[in-house]
Structures are given as C-alpha cells and as structure tokens.
Structure 1
Amino acid sequence: MNNQTSGDSALQIMRTVPSLTIVVPCYNEAEVFIYCVDALNKIVTDLVLRKKIEKNSRILFVDDGSKDNTWLQITEAAKKLDYVQGLKLSRNRGHQTALIAGLSVVDTDVCISIDADLQDDIKCIEQMIDKYMLGNDIVYGVRNDRSKDSFFKRNTANIFYGSMSAMGVNQIENHADYRLLSKRALAALLEFKEQNLYIRGLIPLLGFNSDKVFYTREERVAGESKYPLKKMLGLAIEGVTSLTVTPLRLICALGFLTCFFSFLAIIYILVAKFTGQVIEGWTSVIISIFFLSGVQLLSLGVIGEYVGKIYLETKQRPKFFIDEQTTD
C-alpha cells in the first residue's frame, strides 16, 4: 500500500538528514544480544559516516523484565558504544507494551522498531530511511517469502490475515513490527491510550503517507523464539478483539440462525405429533442440548473477552513502569 500524493515532492525538498532511534524490545535475549548489538551498531555507524542519518542517532534496547543477564549486557554495551542506550521495565509486560515503552521516549526525527533476534533484514534500515526522505511517514517491513516457515505456520498465518481482512481489519499482510515511523506518525500513534495493544493493527489507522520494503526473514542467530504457539494465538485474539466487533455480530447472526432452525424444528414436531408420527427416543434431544450448550458457552466466551477488555480499559492503569535507564 503506497499512499504517496503529489505533495511528496515538497516533503522531499523540505526534509533534511534525519536523526534515528532504533527501538529493540528484549526479553531473555542474552544469547543473541552480542550479535544484535554488533550488527545494529555497524549499521548505524555506517549510516552516520555516509551522512544518511545524524550523529545523535541511537539504538535503544528495552529490557522487558528479562530473567537472564540481558540488562547487564545492555548496560555494558551502553558504556562501551556511543550509540547504545538502555531502558529497563520494572517487570515483564509483553512485547507490544515493551515496544510502546521504547517508542514513548524517542525524541529523534524517525524511529525504527525491530526485534532482537536478527530475523528481520537489517539492510532494509537504509531503504526505510530512503523512503522516508521521499516523503513517507510510515515504512513497513514486509516479508515476501515464507518458504522457510513450517507448513502449519505458513497456512495458519494465511488464515489469520484472511480472517482479519474479512472482518474489516486493515493491516499489512506479512508485516510484524519491523517499521519506520516519522516523528509526527509516532506522535499520532502515542495518542492511542488503550491498554490492549495490537500495534501492527493501529499503524494503518494513522493514515499518513506510507510505503513498503520487502525482505526474506532469516532463522534466529541464537536463542529460542519468544513467540510459541500459545503467544501467537494470544496475539491473534488480541488483534481481533482490539480492532473489530465482528465476532459479536457473528454471535448475533448465529443466534438468529439458531432461532430460525429451532422454529422449523418446532413446526416439524407439532406436525409429527398431530399426525401420529412421533418417534420416541432421546438422541435428537441430547444432540440439540449439546449443540445449543456449546453455542451458548462459545458466545459467552467471546462476549466475556470484550467485557474483560472494557474492564481493563476503564481502570486506566499505567501500561508500564521504568525501573532503570542508562545515561548518555
């Protein structure tokens, strides 16, 4: 999706070399951190030397309450490397909250979010900067090849994106949280105050000029994935319930269908009774009870998910607390 307009040429003329913050959420990334900080530091150093970004650019690692020595490694790197800074949350709050915590302290012209596992192609950072200079406030990193994924993961991802689209959720297919945001796009994103965050679904709602860069995702350099099946399902449910009320409407439609078929069944039973064709037995009754009970429990579960979100939103609790922060 490219929303560039005729005004982009003017933006391109007005834009100067930007300062950049790369925001990297980390949770128990001790095994991969040394590779991540080295790779990102080289990228930033190179871009500064070639005057693609300003010297006051930085790499901000956000420790999401890690239980290993990730924070220790971040503080050591911050002492040795000019571009590295660290932010430590008081406890584990989840990837999306850690990301928004890092974004909330960014004060540079642009920011790029990327995971610490180095699966996203860091060479795209320069391409994102180039597209920003062309007048784009948002640049999405999009996977163009899922051949390395398992059959299950590839097909469930396709089902998820298809389902979200069918429910009216506008999100970029095969895009996770690898993206560039300009200062005004970031300011707009931070205007969203909800507790239940699904950032990749909120970004398209901003409406600013956008473009994409395409890449192939690699295997983790080290460590284990922090997104097993359970967390992926949780993120999918978060996305659906945070951005659309379609499931509630489906429940309503299901209720109408159930009532309609029940009405037909009542007519059939009455006709059978008055014509003397009643067949005694309990099978149909038991099936009906189990079916309707299942529908009711499923409906209550979906409604409960939405009610739970309303409960959390009305409390307006802080999303996170910052425990420590490295100094410049």
Structure 2
Amino acid sequence: MKISVVIPMYGCPEAIPELHKRLTDVLHKIVGDDYEIIMVNDSCPKGSWNNIKKVCQNDSHVVGIDLSRNFGQIRAILAGLDYSTGDWVVVMDCDLQDAPEEIEQLYNKAQEGYDVVFARRAQRKDSAFKIFVSGLFYRLYSWATDVKYDESLENFSISSRKVIDSYCSMREMHRAFVMYIQWMGFKRTSIVVEHHERYAGKSGYNFKKRMNMATEILTSQSDKLLRVLFRVGMAMSLAAFIAVIVIVVRHFIVHSPAGWASIVASIFLMGGLLLAGLGIVGIYVGNIFMQVKNRPLYLIEDVLNGRKEDKDE
C-alpha cells in the first residue's frame, strides 16, 4: 500500500532536512519505496521553498507544491490532499512537534480496521493561555454543532483514501481538517503520542488569527448563534412589553415622574443588542457571499516532482 504524507510548510525552513530524513527512514521501514512526501509551501516568508527545492532535487519521492500566496494552513493541507495518491494519507505539521516515527504506530493501528487514526497529545508543549483558549473554543464549537469534539486531537493523523476523497469533495471556503473528519463519521480511533518542543520557528497563529479562524469555523458550521439571537430578542421583547404595562399602570396609580436615566439606558441596551444581532447576521451573509463566488480555494505557482497538470482548486 502506498502512503502519502502531506505537510503544510510555513515558518520553519530549518526543520526541513531533519524532517525529510526522519520521514524517509520511517516510511522505508513501513512500505519500502512505495510512498510520497508532499511538502506544500504556503508562501513562507522565511524561504521554505528554497529548502523544499533542494530536497526535491535529491529525492524523487518528495513532491514540492508552491502556492501563489499565503492561503492558510488548512487550505495548504487541502492542496496536498488533492495532489496525494496514496492508499493511506498522513497529515502532519512541519515543526517536528509531531515525531515522524509515530507514523508507524498510526499505520499499524489503522490496519486493525479503522479508516482514520488521530494522534492524541499526551501533554501539549504550548502556553497555558493557548491551551485555555483552545479548550474554550472546542467547548463552544461542541455546543454549537451538538457534537462532542475532543480538543486533544490534532491534525497529525492517518486516513484511508475514501476518507480523504470525501474530505476533498467538500469545497467550502471555511474548513477545519479534524472537525470535518470527525463530522464525516467513518470508523475512527486515536492513539496517544508525545508532543515535542518545536524544532525551529514559532507558531504563525497569533491571538487575532485564532479568533478570526474560530469565528469563521463556528459561523460556517452552525446556525445556532442565529437561533440564540432570535430567542434573546423574543425574551427581551416580552420583558419590554411587560415593562410597558407596569409603567402605564404606575403612571396612573402612583403618578411617578419620568426617568430619563432609565430611558437612555434602555435605548443604549437595545441599540447595542440590535447592532450585535445585525453583526452576527452580517457574518452569516458574508459567508454566503464568499461561498457563492466559487473562487479557487488555493492557487499553485509551481510543482516539483509531481504531475504537471493544473491543480488549482
């Protein structure tokens, strides 16, 4: 069986030689020469493409894909998956926090009859704040989609061809690899792996980027926020109706003076809720607007050691 390894490359060109060496060793051990390593350069500003070209020149098993600009990690993964040909496909990061040697365990576990095997991090080598924000997002996402998602799972995984083909067939603008794979079902499991320190570089996802990605994923996969907004609006309308009746009654019975402070506060409260509601609706409408354009999810500048036909998707 042929194995494809898909790796989005961004921010850690120093790790490429070591990554290639260790991948070659473990893949030779599993399937001999029947493998491919697909390195997708997501317009890395540190020169990853130059290192990828050197590796491709020395090893025909390595396919180098250079995207025309930065499209983000998930779309870089999609580009590699679209190009992959293996019966089994491994997805992993480039910084060696995931040890290539764990691929053998993933592969052996998959041979027990599973379509997908995820790596589960025993202990994350990330900051406490990053872990907290990640956990908060997964809990919110689980609530929004009514599906329990495990925050300890990561992109590092091995999937059968039918799983990868199913994932690639969904061409939505906003996507998340692990969540989509879990949503599709199929027979899946996970194994515990050690999470290592970065070999080089640092994460390209700052807090702002993480929040933007969370908003995109959440609003593209669930309409629960709209339903919650409707319920809040109905509850406030009912409360306001009751308040109006109480005010009218008090006016004729107690003859209470007008309260300008309460009026102003109510206006600001309702105005803020209306603007927030319009903002949420606007995000959903914006998602529809971007999707109906039907633009390619990525564009390829160059391909090394691979098929030369146009694979822009």
Global fold match (TM > 0.5): yes
The count of aligned residue pairs is 305
The answer as to whether partners of 2:96 and 2:199 remain within 8 angstroms in 1 is: yes
Counterpart secondary structure, 1:278:
coil
The answer as to whether partners of 1:36 and 1:118 remain within 8 angstroms in 2 is: no
For 1:320 and 1:208, how far apart are their aligned partners in 2? 27
The answer as to whether partners of 2:42 and 2:69 remain within 8 angstroms in 1 is: yes
The answer as to whether partners of 1:20 and 1:54 remain within 8 angstroms in 2 is: no
User: Cα 1:317–1:43, aligned 2, differ >3 Å: closer, same or farther?
Assistant: closer
User: Cα 1:176–1:231, aligned 2, differ >3 Å: closer, same or farther?
Assistant: farther
Aligned equivalent of 1:129:
107
Aligned equivalent of 1:33:
13
Aligned equivalent of 2:227:
249
The answer as to whether partners of 1:171 and 1:200 remain within 8 angstroms in 2 is: no
User: Cα 1:97–1:139, aligned 2, differ >3 Å: closer, same or farther?
Assistant: same
Aligned equivalent of 1:194:
172
- Partner amino acid, structure 2, of 1:206: M
Once the two structures are superposed, the pairs formed by residues 108-123 of structure 1 within 5 Å of their partners are 108-123=86-101
- Indicate yes or no: 2:207 matched with 1:225: no
Aligned equivalent of 1:22:
5
Once the two structures are superposed, the pairs formed by residues 26-175 of structure 1 within 5 Å of their partners are 26-27=9-10, 29=11, 32-48=12-28, 50=29, 52-146=30-124, 148-167=125-144, 168-175=146-153
- Indicate yes or no: 2:261 matched with 1:283: yes
The answer as to whether partners of 1:201 and 1:243 remain within 8 angstroms in 2 is: no
- Partner amino acid, structure 2, of 1:143: R
The answer as to whether partners of 2:16 and 2:52 remain within 8 angstroms in 1 is: no
Aligned equivalent of 2:310:
none
Unaligned runs of 5+ in 1: 1-17
Give CA deviations for 1:303-327 in whole Å, capped at 9, x if unaligned: 1111011111111111111110112
- Partner amino acid, structure 2, of 1:324: D
* Post-superposition offset of 1:82: 4.1
* Post-superposition offset of 1:271: 1.3
For 1:127 and 1:113, how far apart are their aligned partners in 2? 14
Counterpart secondary structure, 2:203:
coil
Give CA deviations for 1:268-289 in whole Å, capped at 9, x if unaligned: 1111111134233321112111
User: Cα 1:208–1:66, aligned 2, differ >3 Å: closer, same or farther?
Assistant: same
The answer as to whether partners of 1:128 and 1:213 remain within 8 angstroms in 2 is: yes
* Post-superposition offset of 1:196: 1.7
Aligned equivalent of 1:264:
242
Identity, % of aligned positions = 30
* Post-superposition offset of 1:173: 2.3
Which deviates more from structure 2 when the two are superposed, residues 148-157 or residues 233-242?
Answer: 148-157
User: Cα 1:262–1:239, aligned 2, differ >3 Å: closer, same or farther?
Assistant: same
User: Cα 1:308–1:242, aligned 2, differ >3 Å: closer, same or farther?
Assistant: same
User: Cα 1:296–1:176, aligned 2, differ >3 Å: closer, same or farther?
Assistant: farther
Which deviates more from structure 2 when the two are superposed, residues 257-266 or residues 193-202?
Answer: 193-202
User: Cα 1:19–1:304, aligned 2, differ >3 Å: closer, same or farther?
Assistant: same
For 2:77 and 2:110, how far apart are their aligned partners in 1? 21
